[in-house]
Amino acid sequence: MAKETKRVERKYVSASKGEAVTKEAKPRTTGLRIGAVVLWLFAIACEALCILYLNGTFFVPSEGLKILSITLQPMTILIIGIVADLIFVVIGSQLWKKANHINPISKKNKVKFFLWNQMGLIVAVIAFMPLIIFLLKDKKLDAKTRKIVSVVAAIALLVAGAASIDWSPVSQEELEEAKATFGEGTVFWTTFGKSYHLEDNCRTLYRSRNIYHGTIEEAFEANRHDPCDVCVPQGGE
């Protein structure tokens, strides 16, 4: 006889306090995408300032840049620019991915589908690769500073790229099919699980303390667009 999985005390949380996302999906995604583009432009501006500093266009005295009572040395200036670049890229990419899960693009054109969903990764490369190339070719910086800053920039590129990739992009067809199958019914998901569930008493949820519930659109917005293999009927994806 199979051992029964022990339930834990659970808490149910509404995804949006009962408000469906469909009516405001387009305005919301427009705002999110505009925010993403603005942040990405800030990121590229940070990279441009670093390059202008390296080629001497943005002049800084040899003793460093004084801000209030703090003197910033060349290495510090460049690292600050790279960190700011990283922050803007990552936050912008999160906004872009969220918009794509609320209002996904069709996958009929596979190239466009890939490029649209991985725009954050593309921007990450644009926001760091030219700077890294410039650093490697620069002969004005001392060897130690060039080496350290180049490593920091390379690590920032890897972090930005990993955080910007949409590892599970969703298509318009997937969302429409799920909506047609489940309509306005309630689905359930957990904090870390990647699936949505039709039954809150699904055995795969027995050990989950927080159960979120909402419409299928809200599940997709939360990046839960994989139907549970246990409680979702086969073919109801």
pTM for the whole structure: 0.76
> For the stretch 201-236, what's the b/e string if a residue is b when 16 or more beta carbons lie within 10 angstroms of its beta carbon?
ebebbeebeebbbbbbbbbbbbbbbbbbeebbeeee
Q: Which amino acid is at 134?
A: F
CA angle 50, 55, 59 (to 5 degrees): 75
Exposed / middle / buried, residue 97 (Cβ in 10 Å: 0-12, 13-18, 19+): buried
Residue 159, number of CB atoms within 10 A of its CB: 15
Q: How far apart are CA 227 and CA 31, in angstroms?
A: 29
For the range 29-35, what are the long-range contacts, defined as Cβ-Cβ under 8 Å and sequence gap of 24 or more? 29/99, 29/100, 29/102, 29/103, 32/95, 32/96, 32/98, 32/99, 32/102, 33/95, 33/96, 33/99, 35/92, 35/95
Q: How far apart are CA 71 and CA 51, in angstroms?
A: 20
Q: How far apart are CA 20 and CA 92, in angstroms?
A: 24
**What is the 8-class DSSP label of residue 13?**
E
Any idea how long the chain is? Answer: 237
Dihedral (CA of 206, 207, 210, 211) sign: negative
φ, ψ of residue 95 to 5 degrees: the values are: -65, -40
pLDDT in tens, the chain (237 residues): 445 555 555 565 656 553 434 445 566 789 999 999 999 999 999 999 999 988 877 666 555 555 555 656 778 888 999 999 999 999 999 999 999 988 899 999 999 999 999 999 999 999 999 999 999 988 888 888 899 999 999 999 999 999 999 998 988 888 888 888 777 788 888 888 888 888 888 888 888 778 888 888 888 888 888 888 888 876 544
Tokens 């005295």 belong to which residue? 61
With H, G, I as helix, E, B as strand and everything else as coil, classify residue 186.
coil
93 Cβ contact partners less than 8 Å away, ≥ 6 residues apart: 36, 119, 120, 121, 123, 124, 160, 163, 164
